[in-house]
Chain A
């Protein structure tokens, strides 16, 4: 995404130079109302992905006694991360410092925002809030792994600290001028930043928290998949803001991102549905929705770089890999990632990031992938994946360890048995 704006600017400058050398002095950035309109829209629908998208997607999958807690966790994440982003998160992710690891605090409290301030061709304020909605959903995604057993206070501490210590730096690495972007890692809309990042944190949290009481013995079936279908569908629609919005403009790149997003989501949904149909005799509602989300995750890093055929392949592969992660890998390794955040977002993100290096088309995003002869791009992608996994894994473990020592991560057994809606929030759904 970040590579895109300078590319367009350079092109514009070159054209201006060809017409009249005098104009080539300092191409003054100019606000584009079309771009601005699309980015305002994208920002709104990416927020819709979290509230109520992720909130409902997750709420349907838990037992009835925990449904409010899950809705609350996504909603509270949206509120808390908003403030953290405003105070320091944005600055750490996007301020231009000398470090290749993290930004500085020059933009803390967003004091630089003015009515006339421009970033590329859109108001700076819109860019800040667009990026804020990404920080929000990344934090909210993690809550699926700790559902039905984590203490709300511990979750707030974790999300707050994690957003500053993990999300902002990784964003800086890829999009803010850090070492992954410099290394040529391709991540159009957040395969590493959002999905691998949250997926790995989710896995670490699920392992450190331990299994839910009754895991493997009691009936932990989803209580209302209607909510999950509504939430999953809102995610799908919102994802156009996520991926096509990451073009940061109303242009051909955004259109192509929208096209490949739709294709990959559908392909992955069908792949999951059919493999489940073969293995378990029934095409399930939860399966097709999970598959769609897996496809959306996997196309995220690729959405500005691949074409329709690449999207089809990425979707099918992601549907199968994420299905395998949720139904085989999780029980095999024995961790209780309640709502399969790692299987869908972690594995889906890794799959998408690698395949971006395979299917990238030079004529679309400016970088060729392995199929066009640039085999080294796969190595670059793996470098980006590894860096994200290591930092998210290690930092998440340390943060959780400290919170566990200070206030404890888990509700007590009795609270868990009676449901954390009542024990944590004093409310119940009847």
Chain B
């Protein structure tokens, strides 16, 4: 099993969700986060005072998938979240040791 974490533009969340449902992903978790990459934040001006906002708002999505699905899921996120501009985000793929469905106690791929 693979655990995929993607940092994307907040405005792309719906597009990514649709693409993942199409790719057969049964569920995902999203959260509002902030951070910086090569984009290096931006500046905001309030009454003439310029502030460097180094942490840009982003959306983090987390999804657990089977090994067989992983490549298709990464591809789906990449195409749905991409605009070609700086700040599109990143995708991280990790090995997933175990998964448990709390209600039934199922484990492994059964629990995904």
Chain A residues at the B interface, C-beta cutoff of 8 Å: 219-222, 276, 279-280, 282, 284, 286-287, 290, 326-328, 331, 340
Contact = CB atoms under 8 A, between A and B. Distances in A.
Nearest to A61: B46
A327 B51 contact: no
B52 interface: yes
A253 to B, nearest CB: 35
B53 interface: yes
B49 A331 contact: yes
Given A220-B51, A286-B47, A328-B48, 11 more contacts: A219-B51, A220-B49, A222-B46, A276-B48, A280-B48, A286-B46, A326-B47, A326-B48, A327-B48, A331-B49, A340-B47
28 contacts: A219-B51, A219-B52, A219-B54, A220-B49, A221-B44, A221-B46, A221-B51, A221-B53, A222-B46, A276-B48, A279-B48, A280-B45, A280-B48, A282-B45, A284-B45, A284-B46, A286-B46, A286-B47, A287-B47, A290-B47, A326-B47, A326-B48, A327-B47, A327-B48, A328-B48, A331-B48, A331-B49, A340-B47
A277 to B, nearest CB: 11
Contacts of A282: 45
Contacts of B46: 221-222, 284, 286
Contacts of B49: 220, 327, 331
Contacts of B47: 286-287, 290, 326-327, 340
Contacts of B48: 276, 279-280, 326-328, 331
A338 to B, nearest CB: 11
Contacts of A328: 48
Nearest to A324: B48
Contacts of A286: 46-47
A222 B49 CA distance: 11
A332 B53 CA distance: 23
Contacts of A276: 48
B55 to A, nearest CB: 9
Interface centre among A219, A287, A328, by most B CB within 10 Å? A219
Nearest to A221: B51
A144 B27 CA distance: 48
A287 B44 CA distance: 13
Interface in B30-59: 44-49, 51-54
Report the 10 A-B pairs with minimum CB-CB distance, sorted nearest first. Answer: A327-B48, A326-B47, A221-B51, A219-B51, A280-B45, A286-B46, A221-B44, A221-B46, A327-B47, A222-B46
